[in-house]
Chain A
């Protein structure tokens, strides 16, 4: 029983390392000020997704339109990424014009 627990842990952990989800988590937590919320959200979603997958058995794709959901997820990625790029551009502009007097400098 312990070996089964360990083998499933190792299998899934190795499959997850460097996965797109982990890359997304790295980028979300690196650019957000709330790492605990990012951790709680990602852990909940991952456990929930595998629970749904396990409960549905092999027939998940017939129950849920996973491809359409992945398309929605890709749109979410595009929106999040585009927002981050825009934010970094505006931040770079603001710091380039930062020499002007009276500009609010916020150092957290």
Chain B
């Protein structure tokens, strides 16, 4: 009658030499967290996902056309609170649409395929955004701008 204690670590096979338990020939005792090593994307904490998303979106959106539209509306109407409420609701709805679309894509595409497509998309967005910012910061001469295809 060996002790039933060490069995939840996954040693289910009947091994007659390991009847004494503790220091027996168990080859892999460190199988406590296999998921963390195998799937690094699945265990990212809620707060880090929240913060990285918020930072990226906030930086990308500052000074964008959303503000322009909101400013125009508020200048004409004289009711900035109402305009702000409407714009905020629209932004929340649009991000909800984006999240739902992403979840739907993740159900119809293979993960590696989707990661590759999303990565290419984000690199393209980064290049486009960076090009715009650089052109704003340091406007090129017209010749160079024409060479770049503007």
Q: State whether A28 touches B119 (Cβ < 8 A).
A: no
- Distance, CA A40 to CA B91, complexed state (A): 12
CA distance A1 to B81 in the complex (A): 11
Cα A27 to Cα B115 with chains together (Å)? 8
The B contact surface, by secondary structure, is helix
- Among B3-11, B12-20, B45-53, B142-150, which stretch is in contact with chain A? B45-53
A95 CB contacts on chain B under 8 angstroms: 112
Q: What is the count of residue pairs linking A and B with beta-carbon distances less than 8 angstroms?
A: 337
CB atoms of B98 and A25 under 8 A apart: yes
Interface residues of A in 75-108 (CB under 8 A from B): 75-78, 80-89, 91-92, 95, 104, 106, 108
CA gap between A25 and B96 in the complex, in Å: 9
* Docked complex: A1-35 residues within 8 A CB-CB of B: 1, 4-13, 15-17, 19-35
Contact partners of B127 in chain A: CB under 8 A: 74, 78
Cβ contacts A54-86/B at 8 Å (1 or 0 each): 100110110010111111111111101111111
Interface residues of B, CB < 8 Å — how many? 86
- Are A8 and B86 closer than 8 Å at their CB atoms? yes
Q: Are A30 and B53 in contact (CB under 8 A)?
A: no
Q: Identify the closest chain B residue to A79 (Cβ).
A: B126
Selected from B51, B66, B128, B129, the residue in CB contact (under 8 A) with A16 is B66
B25 contacts partner chain A, Cβ-Cβ < 8 Å: no
- B97 in the interface (beta carbon within 8 A): yes
* A30-B118, A108-B39 as given contacts; A39 in contact with B95, CB under 8 Å: yes
What is the CA–CA distance of A3 and B34 in the complex, to the nearest angstrom? 56
Q: Contact between A70 and B90 (Cβ–Cβ < 8 Å)?
A: no
Whether A41 contacts B49 by the Cβ 8 Å rule is yes
Q: Shortest 7 CB-CB distances between A and B: which pairs?
A: A53-B67, A81-B122, A77-B126, A29-B102, A84-B119, A8-B86, A41-B53
What would 19 A/B residue contacts be, using CB atoms closer than 8 Å? A1-B79, A4-B82, A13-B90, A16-B91, A17-B97, A20-B125, A21-B60, A30-B105, A30-B106, A35-B99, A35-B103, A38-B102, A40-B50, A42-B57, A53-B66, A61-B63, A74-B133, A85-B123, A108-B39
